[in-house]
Amino acid sequence: MSVIAHFNPQKHGIDSAIALLLATERATGFAISNLVPTNEIHLVDEQSGETEVLQLNPKHPALLMVALQTHALEVRVALGMSRENGERRGWSRIIAELEAPNASLKTLMPKPLPNRIAFVSLILRGLIANALEGIAAYGACQSVHIDNLGHAHLPPNVNRKRGYYLYMRGALVVSYDDGSTEMGVHLSEEVRELGLDGRDFEGLPDDWHREKWAVMYGSSKAPRPYEEAGITGEELQVVVRDNLARFHTQLEEEE
């Protein structure tokens, strides 16, 4: 199917709106036409000749108006309009930045309109892919058990950077083990403020990288031999719980 987005270039920010249509595959191409009303986009099916008219509010960014006409959660999350659980949120700066680029984005933005549309479409595809990953991770984290010490173990198919979904549910410390390139522990800001420090963790191999906020072995960018971690994923969870138990006891004694 070939759907061409016809638009009037005189509409401010129309390039970002067309880029979103391409990124979401609602359109397969575009055509510039001064015959199209400024506040409309015409999606023309080249096979059937049918035309879908998208109305644009002149008071709002064109990108926002096109985004509002889709129910795809990944698009709304990518543009900062919704959270991964579907909850609406205030408009993020993403729409404003793409509508009127500044700083480094303005420097990188191509000047010819076709090139600009292609460039923004590429950015939006990346944002949508990241949003899809986040939505899947959010769903996977909802069934993860958080024990009475505040420990939770991240599912192996979820990127460790998505551990904040568990912090949103009340976890204090998140451990992770992807079975391939990385293993470690991440401490929430809340528990660090209470005094827990990753550099003081006991029971983990000495050659692991230590920070106040984390203790890590390997990563996707700096993989290390998994079999040389010196500890298994199951043992890691036991070590984390032991450290948390001591920490809770210490807090109780200080009260």
Q: State the Cα angle at 154 between 149 and 158, rounded to 5°.
A: 160
Q: Return the amino acid letter for 5.
A: A
Buried b (16+ CB within 10 A) or exposed e, 151-173: bbbbbeebebebbbbbbeeebbb
175/240 Cα distance (integer angstroms): 8
State whether the Cα torsion 9-13-19-21 is positive or negative: negative
Q: What is the pLDDT of residue 91?
A: 66
Question: Is residue 202 pLDDT above 70, yes or no?
Answer: yes
Q: What is the pLDDT of residues 80-139, one digit of tens each?
A: 999 999 888 876 788 888 888 888 888 888 999 999 999 999 999 999 999 999 999 999
46/1 Cα distance (integer angstroms): 8
Q: What is the pLDDT of residue 107?
A: 86
* Model confidence pTM above 0.95: no
